[in-house]
Amino acid sequence: MSEQKLAANEYIKIRSNYLRGNLAEELADVSTGSISEDNQQLIKFHGSYMQDDRDLRADRRKHRLEKAYSFMIRIRVPGGVSTPAQWLATDELCEKYGNHDFKLTTRQAYQLHGVIKSNLKRTIKEINQAAMDTIAACGDVNRNVMCNPNPFLSEIHAEVLKVSQQISEHLTPNTGAYHEIWLDGEKVESSEKEEEPIYGKTYLPRKFKITVAVPPSNDVDIYANCLSFIAIVEKNKLVGFNVAVGGGMGMTHGAEETYPRIADVIGFCTTEQVKQVAEEVVKVQRDFGCRTDRKHARLKYTVQDNGPAWFLEKLNTYLGWPLQAVRPFVFETNGDRYGWVTDETGNSHLTLFIEGGRVIDRPGFPMRTGLKEIAKIHTGDFRLTANQNVIIANVSPEQRPLIESLVEKYGLEDGKKRSALRLNALACVALPTCALSLAEAERFLPTLITELEQSLEEVGLRHDAITIRMTGCPNGCARPYIAEIGFVGRGPDRYNVYLGGGHAGQRLSKLFKADVPSPEIKPLLAPIFSRYAKERESGEKFGDFVIRAGIIAATIQGDDFHKNIK
């Protein structure tokens, strides 16, 4: 193999001295609210993205002001479980330093937007004081570990949550940079302590995503992640996990060599082995992942290029022992189940619908205040779901009436009044803050759903769950390519429309029509809804129907995602 030039980010990582760069120096420069390109890459590893309000770009120069720079801060919530105190801390921080709202992300994290540079340090410090952190929430490392917030089986949930938290802790970068820059930590002089025993000096070639799922719920979307552990429960006991590798969403418009990919389930390990398996999968990717082209650097390409069998063999070599054979499992859905459920211990759990994951007070609907009031009295926990909703979990029978009365008082939504379409929708942040977005997502999807609801109502499908996901760019934060209907931003008010994803997130979709102006989406889909209402078989999901009806060809795996387009 000839020597190729590494991707630019690789040199940034090498130069950074384990993620330090000259971030501290640039944070102190008061003349600008921005930081340099290199540090923009590095700060991701610390859990933050520099952004600017794109709505204002044209306007700012006229005022003799630079772009409206601010920072998004992602707070890790391993397994999505956070305490009421942590909820309150996040709520307070968004008020003090952010845009007065916060986002529950598609990876079960909290996200603050609009934090200006001069407040970055104190915000991150206060996050840490609330026993949370932001390190590795973004960047070429393992990000927030997701876990099914299963409200039905509390004992199993407690076990898998613990596994998720262990993985998260084990794969957290070791560098002292985070403490030095944000927490006034001692500067580490000795380079020995600087070692990243798992990642090494250049960390991973690209971001890395891990989930832990409990069938039959695939809410964490194991097929869209680099590495997943699927809990295998036999006779109400957790016996271990199937291991899935090589899923991922991101692609680039017009570049067929980039594509989303469904993870391969390659084996089984025991609960005790999970930590080691996670570490070795990371190491295989560290050593074999592509470092010359960032568009080809995710684990999914390593698996696709070499084949799942090769990957399993490598992994077994790294482990020093072989994974066991895959155990049977069944996923039924990747959506959330709304409302109250009671578990085997007698505690209750309430899943609330949070549109777009945005916790915000709006005129007439003080949702953020309502949740804050709940957090003040709640003795259980808050569970963030992969679908951007929240579960008020572990409510004791004595507390339940109190919570119910607050839900009533603030008009919080258990989903009953919403269409199934809306309840199964997901959107990324997109405009105005995300630098990558080509079109609206979070701000537009609710409007589009209202339009599509009319079509569905007309054909009597109000209560049929169809997964619908929208992203502002093809990178796939809301996992659009495994939705039954996916919209991916192409340009202002224009979307690629994808159909045929599996209802449980188990199958990729395919491009149905490219570059559709937003007003034409409803007329494009209405006839298909109509056919679905008339022609579907009993229990047939929308994603399956469009394939059977010949509207779209099924996508088997990433390498045929761009093929057989009609």
* Residues involved in catalysis: 74, 143, 207, 209, 428, 434, 473, 477
What DSSP string runs through 315-345?
Answer: HHHHHTSPPBPPPP----BSSPPPEEEE-TT
Considering the rule CB under 8 A, would residue 240 count as an interface residue with other proteins?
A: no
Within positions 41 to 60, which residues make up the interface with other proteins, using CB under 8 A?
Answer: 56, 59-60
Q: Which is nearer to other proteins, 90 or 144 (CB)?
A: 90
The answer to whether the beta carbons of residues 553 and 499 sit under 8 Å apart is no
CB of 33 to other proteins, least distance (A): 6
CB of 278 to other proteins, least distance (A): 39
Q: What angle do CA 495, 439, 449 make, to 5 degrees?
A: 65
Near other proteins by CB under 8 A, which window of 66-74, 191-199, 341-349, 529-537? 66-74
Question: Two tokens at 553?
Answer: 């060809």
Considering the rule CB under 8 A, would residue 61 count as an interface residue with other proteins?
A: yes
Query: Which helix H or strand E contains 44, and what residues bound it?
Result: helix 37-45
The 4-33 site mask, x for binding other proteins (CB under 8 A), equals: --------------------------xxxx
Near other proteins by CB under 8 A, which window of 118-126, 133-141, 190-198, 204-212? 118-126
The 73-102 site mask, x for binding other proteins (CB under 8 A), equals: -----------------------xx-----
Q: How many CB atoms lie within 10 A of CB 58?
A: 8
Query: Which helix H or strand E contains 49, and what residues bound it?
Result: strand 48-52
CB of 23 to other proteins, least distance (A): 19
Rg of the chain on CA atoms, in Å: 23
Q: Which is nearer to other proteins, 37 or 169 (CB)?
A: 37
Considering the rule CB under 8 A, would residue 443 count as an interface residue with other proteins?
A: no
Considering the rule CB under 8 A, would residue 433 count as an interface residue with other proteins?
A: no
The residues, ordered by sequence, that sit 6+ positions from 383 with a Cβ below 8 Å of its Cβ are: 80, 81, 82, 149, 151, 349, 390, 391, 393
Q: Which is nearer to other proteins, 57 or 376 (CB)?
A: 57
Place of tokens 């379409």: 421
CA–CA distance from 346 to each of 211, 341, 393, 429 (Å)? Answer: 28, 10, 12, 37
Please name the amino acid found at residue 223. Y
| # of chain residues touching other proteins (CB under 8 A) | 21
CB of 60 to other proteins, least distance (A): 6
Q: Which is nearer to other proteins, 5 or 64 (CB)?
A: 64
Q: Which is nearer to other proteins, 122 or 443 (CB)?
A: 122
Considering the rule CB under 8 A, would residue 68 count as an interface residue with other proteins?
A: yes
Considering the rule CB under 8 A, would residue 37 count as an interface residue with other proteins?
A: no
The answer to whether the beta carbons of residues 263 and 247 sit under 8 Å apart is yes
What DSSP string runs through 353-409?
Answer: --GGGEE-EETTEEHHHHHHHHHHH--SEEEE-TTS-EEEEEE-TTTHHHHHHHHHH
CB of 71 to other proteins, least distance (A): 12
Binding site for other proteins (CB under 8 A): 30-33, 56, 59-66, 68, 70, 96-97, 116, 118-119, 122
